[in-house]
Amino acid sequence: MTAGSSPGIGKSGRKRFVIPITPPPVVEIDTEATAAYIRLREGKVARTERYDSEKGLVMLDFDVRDNVIGIEVVGLQEFSIRELIKQLPIRASDAVLNHTRYVSADLQPA
């Protein structure tokens, strides 16, 4: 994995990593589906992997360079950035998180 993550192996034997967030993310919220998409950077999704979380379904989108470019979280009732990333391997400063933008998923181009 490259600049978008730091690999490691956890007790379960599966790869673990930390996703650094440097520019403020954009969170697209779909309240009807109780889902949110955390857009970390622009780019085309090359592959998607499920991430084991205790708080709902989490899918990680990777670009061709293996950088995490987006995170989909399904099944949460609260949509603050801090709540969304609680169960994820994310490292971000308070300053970055405080500048997170929230938009309706309906307004995003397909």
pLDDT of residue 107: 59
The predicted-structure confidence for 48-90, as pLDDT tens digits, reads as follows 999 877 767 899 999 999 999 999 999 877 778 888 777 788 8
By residue range, what is the domain housing residue 14?
6-107
In a domain, 32, yes or no: yes
Higher per-residue confidence, 60 vs 14 = 60
Work out the pLDDT band at 5, boundaries 50, 70, 90.
very low
Domains of the chain: total: 1
In a domain, 1, yes or no: no
Identity at 22, one-letter amino acid code? T
Report the predicted TM-score, pTM, of the whole model to 2 decimal places.
0.76
In a domain, 68, yes or no: yes
Question: Which of 83, 84, 37, 34 shows the shortest CA–CA distance to 60?
Answer: 37
In a domain, 66, yes or no: yes
In a domain, 47, yes or no: yes
